[in-house]
Amino acid sequence: MTDLTTLRPGLESPPSRAFSVGPDDAADLITPIRGLMVTTGGDVSVMTTGGDTATLPSLQSGVQYAVLATRILATGTTATGIVGLA
């Protein structure tokens, strides 16, 4: 059996953290995320780890979306119940 404490997570690994995200145009997330989910579908505007801003359109609830982001923007975000995956 593998000792999970010795494994190093990579981008191909599943997320090890999940937390609620309140969209905010001025504040970064508590930790950068590599994915997100929403409970009520809609658009999600993000600032990527590369510094770009983009709107992810028409996200569906219960689906994991891969994105490396430091901020979820309030402007342009219509989805609710956002969960950051890190």
What's the average model confidence in pLDDT over 49-67? 97
Q: Is the pLDDT of residue 6 over 90?
A: no
Q: What's the rounded Cα separation, in Å, for the pair 77 and 54?
A: 10
Instruction: Provide CB contacts within 8 A for 57, sequence distance 6+.
Output: 43
Kindly list the domain boundaries of the chain, sorted by start residue: 17-85
What's at 33, amino acid-wise?
A: I
Q: Between 2 and 26, where is the model more confident?
A: 26
Q: How confident is the model at residue 15 (pLDDT cuts 50, 70, 90)?
A: confident
Instruction: Provide CB contacts within 8 A for 67, sequence distance 6+.
Output: 33, 34, 35, 36, 46, 48, 56
What is the value of pTM for the model shown? 0.86
Q: How confident is the model at residue 85 (pLDDT cuts 50, 70, 90)?
A: very high
